[in-house]
Structure 1
Amino acid sequence: MHTDAATKLEFAVQMNCESCVKAVRAALQGVQGVHSVEVDLAHEQVLVESTLTSQEVQTLIESTGRHAVLKGMGTTGQDLGAAVAILDGAHSIKGVIRFLQISPEHCLIDGTVDGLEPGLHGLHVHELGDLTLGCLSCGEHFNPFKKQHGAPEDLERHVGDLGNILAGPDGRASFRLEDSQLKVWDIIGRSLVVSSGEDDLGKGGHPLSKETGNSGERLACGIIARSAGLFKNPKQICACDGVTLWEERARTVSGLKQKETKTPFANL
């Protein structure tokens, strides 16, 4: 289900003067869904408490002409775990979906997927983190309790059943969901898959309705990996190849190789 739970988003933002600080504050303050803004020029850090998606907040920051990278997300309570899936698929489909355990009972799913056909697309956690055959080797829906496929609000559903995401005319689906069955600690190492069609939530009457929601082929997928919570990602230079945080971001965006849109690509 959609959620109004506020989370804190920690961004690294390229800033070198007080005018930068003022510009970032002006872009965020007063926006519906933004509850508070803290800007630290010395550490080039912006902390935003918001009910908007992380991509929406990043777009607001980058509307000032400054690059931003989301370094962590969390709540004011105990750190219960966070994870991220970087999706890749046919037809230049790319996406970043983050999972945050905001309480023992509730998991927040915050994501953006680009390159989709406009309309509804099924979103599911699959049992295996195996991409050797692309999305085909991800296994079936994560279903530890051996139930039939259903809607996120149903008691009778796979744990991995996250319903549908809606792509707009520009091919972007940006969403923020809350789920009561998904637990971050259970899904790390598994995979997330976006389907070509709408999930009928087990109510379509098709032979596949109670198995997959008859949502079509697997369009894009990615392994769910552990990620940083608030203030737990100090990285400025990537240890694997020595590039800076900003070089890494530029390389991620340029590597998407898809048609231009009026909004920034989903990125790290």
Structure 2
Amino acid sequence: MVKAVAVLSSSEGVSGTIFFTQEAEGAPTTVTGDVSGLKPGLHGFHVHALGDTTNGCMSTGTAKFTIVDKQIPLIGAQSIVGRAVVVHAEPDDLGKGGHELSKSTGNAGGRVACGIIGLQG
């Protein structure tokens, strides 16, 4: 079993912790989290390719969630460990919104919090 964690923070008062667990290579990854300081409503949730938050992530509710997904492994060549998880201001339209950004970003709006996914001991 592999476990990872991302501690989210932002200059806008959004904070939280996201936990990732994968039992074995090829098994789905379970993601649980608790994020506070969000504006009410839906928010996009993405894993970004790079874990570089040196320039920040580029509001008063809480999101608690559990996600199980085979596309975000902790083990193997496509591991998300070391990448960044980002919470966006708006919901992700899954590329179906018709906006010019729908296919590339899900038109999810600005970044309101982020953290680097690291192994958990």
TM-score of the superposition, structure 2-length normalised?
0.91
Q: How far did 1:89 drift?
A: 1.1
CA distance in 1, matches of 2:53, 2:103: 25
Residue deviations 1:151-198 (CA, integer Å, cap 9, x gap)? xxxxxxxxxxxxxxxx9xx60000011001110131111100000111
Where relative contact order (Cα < 8 A, 6+ residues apart) is larger, the structure is 2
1:64-99 Cα shifts (integer Å, max 9, x gaps): xxxxxxxxxxxxxxx2x1100000013211010000
* Alpha-carbon separation, structure 1, partners of 2:93 and 2:23: 28
Amino acid corresponding to residue 57 of structure 2 in structure 1: C
Corresponding residue for residue 199 of structure 1: 92
Percent of paired sites with the same residue:
49
Is it true that 1:102 corresponds to 2:23 in the alignment?
yes
Provide the residue aligned with 2:53 in structure 1: 131
Answer yes or no: is the 8 Å Cα contact 1:98–1:110 preserved in 2: yes
Q: Point out the structure with the larger strand share.
A: 2
Larger Rg: 1
Deviations 1:204-259 (A, max 9, x none): 0101000000000011000110003xxxxxxxxxxxxxxxxxxxxxxxxxxxxxxx
Moved over 2 A (4+): 102-105
Q: Which amino acid aligns with 1:101?
A: Q
Q: Any unmatched runs of 5+ in structure 1? A: 1-78, 137-166, 229-268
Query: 2:97 aligned with 1:176, yes or no?
Result: no
Number of matched pairs: 117
Match of 1:223 among 89, 95, 116: 116
For 1:115 and 1:206, how far apart are their aligned partners in 2?
27
Task: Output the CA distance in 2 between the equivalents of 1:216 and 1:90.
Answer: 16
Please give the alpha-carbon distance, in whole angstroms, between the structure 2 residues aligned to 1:107 and 1:223. 17
Secondary structure of 2:85's counterpart equals strand
User: What secondary structure is seen at the aligned counterpart in 2 of 1:84?
Assistant: strand
How far apart, in 2, do the equivalents of 1:90 and 1:205 lie? 31
Shift of residue 105, structure 1, vs aligned partner = 2.6
Q: Which structure is higher in helix share?
A: 1
- Residue 102 of structure 2 corresponds to residue 212 of structure 1: no
Q: Measure, in 1, the Cα distance between the counterparts of 2:108 and 2:11.
A: 16
- The normalised TM-score by structure 1 is 0.42
Cα-to-partner distance string for 1:107-160 (whole Å, 9 max, x where unaligned): 000101000001100000001111111124xxxxxxxxxxxxxxxxxxxxxxxx
The answer for the alignment partner of 1:112 in structure 2 is 34
What SS class does the counterpart of residue 210 from structure 1 fall into? Answer: helix
Partners of 2:85 and 2:40 in 1: CA distance: 20
Partner Cα separation in structure 1 for residue 20 and residue 106 of structure 2: 23
